[in-house]
Amino acid sequence: MTLQPIKKVWLDQKVEKAALTRRLLDRLPGVPVEQVAGLEPVKREFRFATDPVGESKQHLFITEQKAFIRPCPCTPGSVGCGYWTIDLDLNCPFDCSYCILQQYLNWQPLTVAVNRQKLRVELESFFQRKSSGIIRIGTGELADSLALDEMTENSIFLVESFRGQGRFWLELKSKSDYIRPLLTIKPAENVVLSWSLNPEGIIATEEKGTAGLMERLQAAAKAANHGYRVGFHFDPILHYPGWQDDYEGLVAMLFRVVPVEAIAWVSLGSLRFPSALLPLARRRFPKSQIYEQEFIRSAEGKYRYPRPVRLLLYNLLAEMLASYRVEDKIYLCMESAEVWKEFLEKIKRGRQKLAFPFSWLG
């Protein structure tokens, strides 16, 4: 994992005196700090950069969040999984060619909210309000859950906030291998540390700055040994010549390193992106070939591989995973009911166990 250095800290004047602000600044000695009244002047700075998105990843904005918890919007026409998100950090220091945050966050710098006490209050109310069923909630939608953890130690704060809340499963989703703080505390049964996975060749070319495959898997193994549950997201699965061999190697490596019984869930999602990302990503990653494959424009306006190709990816990957007996832990991310149905028909054939569509929802 190689993070680019922070060029500048932008301090929202509202949180100048917050205790976490002090700690963050102490961890960034020598980095220039400018106090600002809001986000606008920070974004303006990026206008003049050749690569404003890349630039935004090297600036840290310390601020507060008005609200943290919201339901994951999924995508129109897809089967939702009832997931909730916590927007504690925004943006990510890693630079994946397929990441929709490049376009979605509109030059938002790396943003850390320091009013965590407000999140704690929100969580307490959330725990009381949601009176039945298992709820999954995570910080990895608009950020990488662990990429800035060395600075923020948000992971410890979150685990402690969820401890004892058995129905509420916290997921910390990452492409980092930095789990040191989490190994210094007692694990919680309802905390899942999860990693997005792709073949090593894809990590090297498309996931700039992230931890390598073996580093991620070893971090997962350490987490499992410590007593955490772990999860894996094959997302985005990429379709390219030779993909099948690469993913077979990846699955084999996963189960060589990580004990099957520690795995809480495995998600499968194929490459999808809004049309507005296309020119930006092609510009930022001129050598990447991932955008030059066969796509259809789906009803919600996103580009996706055609359904026959997506099902091929899901079916073959599920077969690979099933040979390690995790088929009942697989779910699809942002897929239509039609694809879900065909996928389930295929994967449950000849097996007693039903590949679960969200058994945690009861």
Partner 1 sequence: MTIRLIKPDKINLEDRRFRFTFNPVEERFKYSVQVIGVLQPVIITYREGKPVLIDGWKRVEAARFCGLEQLLTLEIDNQATDAEVFFLAFFINYSRRPFSLAEKSLAVRKFHDFGLQPPDIIENVLPLLELPPEQKTVEIMLELSGLERWLEVIHRKDWKLGTAELLVSFPPEERHWLLQLVEKLTHSQQKEIIENFYSLKRRTGKSLKELAGEKEIGTVIGRLTAGELEAAGALLSVLRKFNSPTVWRLNQAISDRIRQLELPPEISLDYDRTLEKTGLKISLEASSTREFKEVLRCLSERLASPEWEEIFKLLHHVGD
* Token duo for residue 51: 């690569």
- Does residue 52 touch partner 1 according to CB under 8 A? yes
- Does residue 17 touch partner 1 according to CB under 8 A? no
In the three-class reduction of DSSP (H, G, I as helix; E, B as strand; rest coil), residue 331 is classed as: strand
- Does residue 76 touch partner 1 according to CB under 8 A? no
Q: Please give the residues from 225 up to 284 whose contact with partner 1 meets the rule CB under 8 A.
A: 239, 279, 282-283
* Residue with the two structure tokens 């999808």: 272
Work out whether the CA dihedral 193, 139, 54, 58 comes out positive or negative.
Answer: negative
CA distance 260 to 271: 26
| CB-count burial class (<10 Å; 0-12, 13-18, 19+) for 156 | middle
Q: State in angstroms the smallest separation of the CB of 34 from partner 1.
A: 18
- Does residue 349 touch partner 1 according to CB under 8 A? no
Query: Interface with partner 1 by CB under 8 A: which range of 42-50, 89-97, 178-186, 194-202?
Result: 42-50
- Does residue 221 touch partner 1 according to CB under 8 A? no
Work out whether the CA dihedral 63, 64, 66, 71 comes out positive or negative.
Answer: positive
User: What type of residue is 307?
Assistant: R
- Does residue 40 touch partner 1 according to CB under 8 A? no
- Does residue 29 touch partner 1 according to CB under 8 A? no
Q: Please give the residues from 299 up to 318 whose contact with partner 1 meets the rule CB under 8 A.
A: 299, 306-309, 311-312, 315
Q: Which is nearer to partner 1, 91 or 336 (CB)?
A: 336
- ∠ CA 6-38-74, nearest 5°, is 80
Query: Interface with partner 1 by CB under 8 A: which range of 46-54, 111-119, 222-230, 326-334?
Result: 46-54
CA distance 130 to 187: 23
Q: Which is nearer to partner 1, 16 or 338 (CB)?
A: 338
CA distance 238 to 258: 23
In the three-class reduction of DSSP (H, G, I as helix; E, B as strand; rest coil), residue 114 is classed as: coil
- Does residue 337 touch partner 1 according to CB under 8 A? no
Q: Which is nearer to partner 1, 30 or 48 (CB)?
A: 48
List contacts with partner 1 (CB under 8 A).
44, 46-50, 52, 239, 279, 282-283, 289, 291-299, 306-309, 311-312, 315, 336, 338, 342, 346
